[in-house]
Each structure stands twice: as C-alpha cells, then as structure tokens.
C-alpha cells in the first residue's frame, strides 16, 4: 500500500486489487492508497484489514483493528476483507476473529488453510486444517443468520 508508483500502475489495469493495510497505517492512509488505484480508472478495489502494530508481540503478531471495519464501510463504498490469519499469526485465534469480523460487517474473510501446516514453507503457525476451516464456515453461517445477512460459501473450492 505504500508503493505509490505501483499503485498508479495497478490503477491502469482491469484487474481486481486488494489493498492490504500496512501495520502502522492509519485509516486515512489506507483509503488514500486505494485512491491511487481508483484515480487510474481501476474500480475493482478491495480493502484488507490484516492487523496493526501492537506492543504485545509475544502473544499476537498484530492487533486486528475490528473497529476500523464499520468506520471504513461508512467512509467508502469499497468492500472490506479481514485476514485473521495474518492479523493474529496464530491458528488458535483465527476462528474467533473470523466470526468477530463478520459480526462487525466485513464483506469477506481471508483465511490460510493448509493440509499439513507443520510442513508449510511459510505461515504454518497461522494455517488451519481444512476440517478447522469447515467449522469456521459453519460458525460464520450461524452468525450471519443471526445478523440477517447472507454469506456465500466457497469453502469447497481450491
């Protein structure tokens, strides 16, 4: 989100773009990064909350700023995605943060899934098994039903 030359070039493309919030970025900086792409004519932009810097890195990689989700939804028309896998860095935190993300209005949730996370070349500690992911999908369906919103289940796709 901070490579403005790249953002300008991506703005010229007709491809979907996900602007991931930097760990020290303010909401305004995040939105302005998206503006670089939008100003170039590419309106296929999504915003991704993946955690901001914390002072307690012993227990969490970042703090997923769930409070930013409704604020960003108020300030822009762009879809908001939450990445609880990268945001927390711990697979144990992903289910709760996924459901919480949906509850505060995230349009989508991005979750790392791996058949054998212990052997993963990267991001193994934050990756869920396919079975664990299925449980998250079911939890999200229940929360969505309680909130009166619909979700699309693409968990069967690879």
The series of mean pLDDT values per 10 residues for the chain, 158 residues long, is: 93 96 95 96 97 78 92 97 88 92 94 80 78 92 90 62
pLDDT of residue 124: 66
In the chain the domains, ranked by start, together with CATH numbers, are 4-147 (3.20.20.70)
- 68, 36 in Cβ contact below 8 A? no
d(CA 75, CA 158): 33
Cut 0.85: pTM above it: yes
Closest CA to 35 of 60, 8, 16: 8
Torsion of CA 24, 89, 114, 136, to 10 degrees: -100
The pair phi, psi for residue 115, each rounded to 5°, is: -65, -35
């Amino acid at each position: 989100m901070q490579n403005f030359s790249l953002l300008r070039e991506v703005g010229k493309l007709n491809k979907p773009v996900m602007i991931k919030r930097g760990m020290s970025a303010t909401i305004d900086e995040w939105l302005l990064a998206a503006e670089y792409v939008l100003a170039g004519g590419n309106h296929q932009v999504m915003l991704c909350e993946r955690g901001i810097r914390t002072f307690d890195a012993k227990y969490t990689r970042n703090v997923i700023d769930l409070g930013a989700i409704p604020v960003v939804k108020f300030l822009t028309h762009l879809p908001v995605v939450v990445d609880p896998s990268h945001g927390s860095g711990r697979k144990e935190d992903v289910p709760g943060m996924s459901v919480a993300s949906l509850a505060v209005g995230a349009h989508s949730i991005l979750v790392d899934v791996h058949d054998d996370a212990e052997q993963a070349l990267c991001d193994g500690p934050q990756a869920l098994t396919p079975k664990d992911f299925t449980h998250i999908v079911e939890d999200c369906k229940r929360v969505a039903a309680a909130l009166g919103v619909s979700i699309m289940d693409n968990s069967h796709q690879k």
